[in-house]
Amino acid sequence: MENQGRVLMQRYELGKLLGQGTFAKVYHARNLKTNKSVAVKVINKEKVTQNGLIDQIKREISVMRLVKHPNVVQLYEVMASKTKIYFAMEYVKGGELFDKVAKGRLKENAARKYFQQLVAAVDFCHSRGVYHRDLKPENLLLDESGNLKVTDFGLSALADSKRQDGLLHTTCGTPAYVAPEVIHHKGYDGEKADIWSCGVILFVLLAGYLPFSDPNLMRMYRKISKADFKCPCWFPPEVKKLLSKILDPNPETRMTLAKIMENPWFQKGFKKIETYYVPRSILDDENVFKYTDSPKGSSTDLKALEERATAKNSSNLSTLKPTSMNAFDIISLSPGFDLSGLFENNVPSKKREARFTTKESASTIMSKLEELASTEQFQLVKTLDGTVRMQGCKEGRKGQLAINAEIFEVTPSFHMVEMKKVAGDTIEYENFFDQELKPSLKDIIWTWQGEQPTTSTSITDHSR
């Protein structure tokens, strides 16, 4: 209660302590401007640094800004002082799902509802390249309406954490909920490991106890490795069949989230939730460790940063400077010098990038891209490396479609543009490319890579 009534950063009034761990405490707080209840996580910066957890905190920030979903606890703001890091988050006052299960098993309809919301949230996280890796009832909160909210992304991983074998290698999670392949220390698919944990949670909700339990940890691991469990007699037959496919010790044959969501038992009363676009590159994760001696501390308000980033990007688009190309760059683009086959395995039949050449100026190319973006509901933003990103505002099968466009200057009167998909579903990208992108740009195109130019002029003539 030491913080009762304390005002934080002139923005939040801290209230009672909700919980605490080794490096952090969570308080109920009130937003002084909106009077809205929030939860404030207070992290001790010195302890985090001493224990080598800086990257974990940065990752948690990165993950929470990526996963804006009704069934995931929302991060509103990150702030920092000399000694502390503060997360202002959605306040979920219904408690942990664990507390509900601790009183006994749930009825089938209640268990199904929570499982549906869990799977929907996890599927959304995976579409954003986020793997939770510590799913359990203690990390599932309930709001005042009884809706589930996934929390605690401290052990989560991003898709770019994978090694060259395409797998994750950090062993983490809670033993009773962890997948067999995680225990074996041979690398694992984060998506399939999360699916296993979802299966264990479904069992716990309906049974009131764990499927794999033993006082001896090694014996419990052996049970997990063999998927040695029995469903109680009150489980519906369709649930037993579903669990046998989710709790499959072989990750290659384990049921996917897409198949789970198609399952008839799962589908009963299931309502697909519409999600919305939130820009990803708003919050600089380094800011929380670069405090300046301001009495008010430093604050990164997500909404304010989003507005500033959008305004800044809009003003910079017209002055975008093309990337210069040297002779080696031009030669390397020739099909005869394409060495990618020496380094890439399983190259898809249709590439995710395409190049075209044009005699138009960089400003004309930009105007055409802006025109296309406005008609197709894209947000056009300049990225840190000087490329232009067309960020879709519609939710697709795997999130919003995002396409990078980089303009290269071959000569002052001749440019090459490389278009590359960086996010979203590949099929949706290919449909957009063929049906919208190519037709919209036909007025400025000299030739697409792999196609014959409309005149007898060659690229070599322009580069002399």
Residues with a known catalytic role: 134
| Residues 86, 288: Cα–Cα separation, whole Å | 9
Dig out the tokens for 79 from the structure.
Answer: 């702030």
Phi/psi region, residue 216 (left: phi>0; alpha: psi -120 to 50; beta: rest), is: beta
CB 142 within 8 A of CB 110: no
Grouping H, G, I as helix, E, B as strand and the rest as coil, residue 200 is helix
Between the alpha carbon of residue 285 and those of residues 40, 61, 126, 363, 453, the distances in Å are 18, 7, 21, 33, 46
Residues contacting 372, CB < 8 A, separation 6+: 378, 390, 436, 437, 440, 441
| Residues 464, 227: Cα–Cα separation, whole Å | 67
Half-sphere exposure of 386 (CA within 13 A, CB side): 12
* Strands lying side by side in the sheet with 37-44: 7-8, 12-20, 24-31, 37-44, 84-90, 75-80, 298-301
Measuring CA to CA, which residue among 230, 224, 232, 223 is closest to residue 111?
232
| Residues 318, 322: Cα–Cα separation, whole Å | 11
Backbone angles phi, psi at 277, to 5 degrees: -80, 130
Grouping H, G, I as helix, E, B as strand and the rest as coil, residue 284 is coil
Scanning the structure block, which residue is given the tokens 């998927």? 227
b (16+ CB within 10 A) / e for 69-78: bbbbbbbbbb
Determine the angle formed by the axes of helices 108-127 and 190-207, rounding to 10 degrees. Answer: 170
CB 38 within 8 A of CB 93: no
C-beta neighbour count of 91 within 10 angstroms: 23
Helix (H) or strand (E) holding 19: strand 12-20
CB 81 within 8 A of CB 51: no
Dig out the tokens for 47 from the structure.
Answer: 């302890």
